[in-house]
Structure 1
Amino acid sequence: MYESHYGLNKKPFQITTDPTFLWMGEKHREALTTLKYGVMDNKGFLLLTGDVGTGKTTLINRLIEDFKDKVYTAKIPDPRLTKYDFYRMVSRYFKLPIEVRTKSDFIDPFTRFLSDAQQEKKSVLLLIDEAQRLKQDLMEEIRLLSKLEYQDTKLLNIFFVGQNEFSNILLQPENRALMRRITITYNIEPLDQTETGDYIRHRLKVAGAGYDIFSAGAVEEIYDFSNGFPRQINIICDLAMFFASQFEQRTISRKVVQQCRERISFDTIKRPEKPQQPIYPAAKGPLPAPSKSAGKRSPLTKLWVGIGVALLVACTAGMYFTAPEWKARARKWIEQISHSDETPSRALTQPSQGGSDTTGLSAGTAASSAVDDWTVPSTDELDRPLRMPHRPPAIDAAPLRPDPADAVEWVLKKRQQEKNS
């Protein structure tokens, strides 16, 4: 379409693999030489790996072309097959006139084929492309095929070509037997910027170009887009040449390549994040961020909490273990104090045997007499609700009222005497 505009014989940047355009840089020359040695010396298992678009398929097509009359070759383009489909495909590529229904239908004729090739002094190469797609059971069948030998000489060379992840597949425990049989491996790396320029000029020269169609700035932009992967280089160079030819430009500048990048780059579409549904109704203001110290109490707070719990336990135990008669007497004493509306002296008077009142007693004597003559109240008195004591109205003379401290002291002395006895 644009070949005549640039004076070319054919398109230089086709996506299809064409061995005539193979650029033999340092990496590819080393890879091709290594693989040729492995095949001609019957090394058994070979492995070629590389990222997508690094030129693996173009390299093995060149290898097959160089071995056209020296090696029997069968190439499996997609090995994701069942065991018997794999045997049928190998038989067809090696032109074996057999019909495969069982494994023995394949093994016997194939062994004879390998022996005949050995007598002809020809190698047999089974090339499996896209090896990372192999199933586990088929990998084991391929390993067993490698055991076909003649007088300690390998009759079959099996060449795996796959992406970088195939190396990780071989490292799995179930594939260790196959991995140990691989004798030669090679990994193709992407091109650097200098190699990218040499690659572009080589393909243009093969296509018949008489000048540098891409400027130095355009080559830099192409490398920045492709990261040195030949397939990406072919894609953007082919589009740039078509785009420039529409504007009658015979030299492609950086700006043209940038415009082409915009047409073939995939922008990452960011989808809006799904808002989280609040568990509780949303507040008017933003919620405060939780503090890192939330849920933690200071040591001082823990100390006060502990002291409070200990006091509560002590009071509860004291009330529980107090004798019933002491509880009743204390209750009686509190009720007598609470009756402050009556005559102050009545709280301290106790009836004598003759029925006379003890109004002439002093406060201390009356309190002592009242405490000594306490008796256990009846059930009706115990069931009567307690009334909180209140302050009596002020009077000129001090009322005769027992000192609570004397009563408490008496109770404690009484408990101590009973314990001692």
Structure 2
Amino acid sequence: MYLKYWGFRLPPFENVPSRDIFFRSSQHEEALMRLLYAVKNHKGAAMLTGEVDSGKTTISKVLKDSLSADQYSVKTLINPALNPLDLIRAILFCLGESSDSDSKFTLLSRLQDRLASNAEHGKNTILIIDEAHLIPGRTSLEELRMLLNMQSENRFLITLIVVGQPLLQENITALQPLKERIAVKYHLKPLDLRDTVRYILFRLKSAGADRGVFTKEAVSPLFEYTGGVPLRINNLCDRSLLVGLLRKARGINSAIVNEAIEDLQ
């Protein structure tokens, strides 16, 4: 609605994760490097946590794009809220294998065969489990630990990357055998003031803006309200741009941001 008014080609503050607008803050870069380390050194499992829309899913997409399809088979499971048997079936389905059996032994045998086949053909299997905090109960998490028992003589046949909200940390901590298998961990924190400003400018530039749009005085109430959480930043900036359009403003100042905050509450 406000794209033409502000001179954008695209909506600047959409909340849909996109690898094309990956904001590389220092901590997002570190998270990506840690996951790449886990993958390339054949670690059994890695964990990435953070609040809603902190950039976790985007990092996992960038990770996938960073890996050669000739060397890595990277699959993503996005709905892991499943009982143990259905979780195994879902993993098999992700890997392109038949999951039409009620026998856990049969399903695990198929999974072992697929992982071994990938390894024999020079491909490392990477399974990213998004929204992993939704995995219900210890028994389903235990199945993930058992997957890490699938090994060749000298390395794991699969690298698991579990991605989720902070609850995931609690769930895994409660299962000590799985916790000890997590070789790499990283938690994304909210952006600080400096990175919040950089994030807003990055989003505006990615949308085609040729100016900052937000004034310096707008930053203080914006950061105070959002706490540096990208989801909140997106929502408040989007609403501020709409309010600015309605007020026929030439830029977004603190008064417009405060009006947008009232509008969101």
Which residue matches 2:146? 144
Which residue matches 1:103? 104
Give the letter for the 2:212 counterpart.
Answer: D
Conserved? CA contact 1:193–1:228, under 8 Å: yes
Conserved? CA contact 1:87–1:100, under 8 Å: no
Whichever of the two has the greater Rg, that structure is 1
Distance 1:168 1:90 in 2: 23
Which residue matches 1:161? 163
Give, in angstroms, the shift of residue 81 of structure 1.
Answer: 0.6
Conserved? CA contact 1:40–1:123, under 8 Å: no
Which residue matches 2:134? 133
Give, in angstroms, the shift of residue 229 of structure 1.
Answer: 0.4
Conserved? CA contact 1:55–1:231, under 8 Å: no
Which residue matches 1:21? 21
Give the letter for the 2:106 counterpart.
Answer: D
Conserved? CA contact 1:42–1:154, under 8 Å: yes
Deviations 1:137-194 (A, max 9, x none): 111111111110112211101111122232222332xx11111111111111111111
Which residue matches 1:245? 245
Give, in angstroms, the shift of residue 122 of structure 1.
Answer: 2.0
Give, in angstroms, the shift of residue 136 of structure 1.
Answer: 0.9
Which residue matches 1:86? 87
Give, in angstroms, the shift of residue 51 of structure 1.
Answer: 2.5
Conserved? CA contact 2:45–2:182, under 8 Å: yes
Conserved? CA contact 1:98–1:105, under 8 Å: no
Give, in angstroms, the shift of residue 35 of structure 1.
Answer: 0.5
Which residue matches 2:188? 188
SS of 2:203 mapped into structure 1: helix
Conserved? CA contact 1:196–1:223, under 8 Å: yes
SS of 1:149 mapped into structure 2: coil
Which residue matches 2:54? 54
Summarize the alignment of residues 19-418 of structure 1 with structure 2, pairs less than 5 Å apart. Answer: 19-67=19-67, 69=69, 70-134=71-135, 135-172=137-174, 175-265=175-265
- TM-score, normalised on structure 2? 0.94
Give the letter for the 1:44 counterpart.
Answer: G
Conserved? CA contact 1:42–1:157, under 8 Å: yes
SS of 1:112 mapped into structure 2: helix
Deviations 1:295-324 (A, max 9, x none): xxxxxxxxxxxxxxxxxxxxxxxxxxxxxx
Distance 1:247 1:160 in 2: 45
Which residue matches 1:270? none
Distance 1:115 1:234 in 2: 44
- TM-score, normalised on structure 1? 0.60
Identity %: 27
Structure 1, unaligned stretches of length 5 or more?
266-421
Structure 2, unaligned stretches of length 5 or more?
none
Over 3 Å counting, the alpha-carbon distance change for 1:190 and 1:41 in structure 2 is same
Give the letter for the 1:168 counterpart.
Answer: E
Between 1:47-56 and 1:20-29, the stretch displaced more is 47-56
Over 3 Å counting, the alpha-carbon distance change for 1:84 and 1:170 in structure 2 is closer
Distance 1:136 1:95 in 2: 26
SS of 1:74 mapped into structure 2: strand
SS of 2:244 mapped into structure 1: helix
SS of 1:185 mapped into structure 2: strand
Deviations 1:363-391 (A, max 9, x none): xxxxxxxxxxxxxxxxxxxxxxxxxxxxx
Give the letter for the 2:168 counterpart.
Answer: F
| More contact order relative to length (CA 8 Å, sep ≥ 6) | 2
Distance 2:53 2:117 in 1: 38
Deviations 1:46-99 (A, max 9, x none): 011123332212221222232362422222223221122112211221111342
Over 3 Å counting, the alpha-carbon distance change for 1:20 and 1:79 in structure 2 is same
